[in-house]
Structure 1
């Protein structure tokens, strides 16, 4: 398993991993922006991109995992943990935030397993599915 910066040539593979990017829409635009800005990383197994993540700093100046996606066939094999661990190393702030829908139980379990703490809830982003926010205090000054 290799974690590296995402490149323009990775975008078709990232689109394939992310079902929300199946058509030309806002998700593809976000992916293009993350990759172009150097905010995206990929996880590669046997020369195949099986997941990606994006780290931004637009959440009150703190690091924020804006996206984390692993191909369904590659889940529960450590790819998401590896991506988050890499983002924690790269994060320039002493706190790293992320969020997920209340319906996304696997992501909630991952957050708990990686010592992320609940940080709040925002309603009305996705109707009937509140967004749960998490934070992890990172060691050392950044």
Structure 2
């Protein structure tokens, strides 16, 4: 059964393992541990961790989903949508922002499927691959 919940410290190793699988190193371990302690990290599980979501309120005092990563072998099974939909229910602010690279067509489809609207572009973060900003108004 699919379960989305706040990550606990015992989830840290599985989160780091998924991140390592995707980006090739584990340099974000400290960031993940901090997010877990601050309850700014969600995990989606079905027996084991399939993916995670990190967020903060540093984006002009609105929620910004800074990272959604699903284990490569578990993609296209709805885990990213499960994380977003759960997060929308618990978001402490009415506006939710996130972003993805222009080259990340899969994540753009996830945002579109979940009702997120394009909200701008940031150039020069990754050379030649602009960051696309997405927005959704939380339903009341």
Q: Same fold (TM over 0.5)?
A: yes
Cα distance in 2 between the residues matched to 1:38 and 1:118: 27
Deviations 1:25-63 (A, max 9, x none): 2x2222111111111010111x20010001211100011
Asked if the contact 1:15/1:22 (under 8 Å) is kept, the reply is no
Consecutive unaligned residues of structure 1, counting only runs of 5 or more, are none
Cα distance in 2 between the residues matched to 1:28 and 1:103: 25
Task: Figure out how many residues of one structure are paired with residues of the other and give that number.
Answer: 138
1:64 is displaced (CA, Å) by 0.9
1:110 is displaced (CA, Å) by 0.8
Consecutive unaligned residues of structure 2, counting only runs of 5 or more, are none
Map of 2:17 onto structure 1: 16
Map of 1:2 onto structure 2: 3
Asked if the contact 1:21/1:28 (under 8 Å) is kept, the reply is no
Map of 1:138 onto structure 2: 138
RMSD: 1.3
1:73 is displaced (CA, Å) by 1.0
Map of 1:89 onto structure 2: 89
Spell out the pairing of 1:1-142 with structure 2 (5 A cutoff): 1-19=2-20, 22-25=24-27, 27-45=28-46, 47-140=47-140
